[in-house]
């Protein structure tokens, strides 16, 4: 299984599920950028709010990748991450993984592609917000 798939959603996409896509794109004469797009689309189709079955997700990921290549091929578009969305989803994943891996910061950092220090900062911010949420606001009237 490719590192790109592992880093995107290691908890929900199995090796068997990724093998279906990999079998179709690894032997193809596709550039690496196409493969990365196909993998990203596939994981999203499998794990999104309206998740699909593996076979239709493979077909749609390939079809969408070819469409993107046809419409945007030859260009080098900048794809903005949407930093607020990325931060909140990364933070939620870090907190989930810390709970599952008993605060093994190094392991969680490796799974999400961050440094140990960054994982600790995310946890510290989350703990502060959780404490504030639980304690509420005292009326000072």
pLDDT at 4: 41
**Would you give the end-to-end CA distance of the chain in angstroms?**
60
Which range among 31-40, 57-66, 76-85 has the greatest average pLDDT?
A: 57-66
For residues 64 and 84, which has the higher predicted lDDT (pLDDT)? 64
CA atoms of 114 and 93, how far apart (whole Å):
12
Say whether pLDDT at 82 is over 60: no
pLDDT at 83: 58
Q: How confident is the model at residue 8 (pLDDT cuts 50, 70, 90)?
A: very low
The per-residue pLDDT for range 9-57, each reduced to its tens digit, is: 444 677 788 888 888 888 778 888 888 889 889 988 888 778 888 899 9
Cα–Cα nearest to 5, from 60, 42, 34? 42
Q: Write down the residue that tokens 């290549």 correspond to.
A: 69
Dihedral pair phi/psi, residue 91, rounded to 5°: -60, -45
User: pTM for the complete prediction?
Assistant: 0.53
């Amino acid at each position: 299984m490719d590192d790109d798939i592992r880093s995107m959603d290691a908890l929900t996409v199995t090796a068997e599920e990724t093998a279906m896509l990999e079998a179709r794109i690894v032997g193809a004469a596709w550039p690496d950028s196409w493969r990365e797009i196909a993998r990203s689309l596939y994981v999203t189709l499998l794990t999104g709010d309206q998740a699909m079955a593996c076979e239709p997700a493979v077909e749609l990921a390939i079809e969408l990748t070819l469409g993107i290549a046809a419409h945007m091929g030859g260009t080098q578009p900048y794809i903005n991450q949407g930093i607020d969305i990325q931060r909140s989803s990364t933070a939620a994943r870090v907190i989930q993984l810390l709970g599952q891996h008993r605060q093994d910061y190094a392991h969680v950092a490796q799974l999400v592609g961050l440094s140990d220090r960054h994982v600790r900062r995310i946890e510290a911010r989350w703990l502060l917000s959780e404490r504030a949420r639980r304690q509420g606001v005292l009326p000072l009237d």
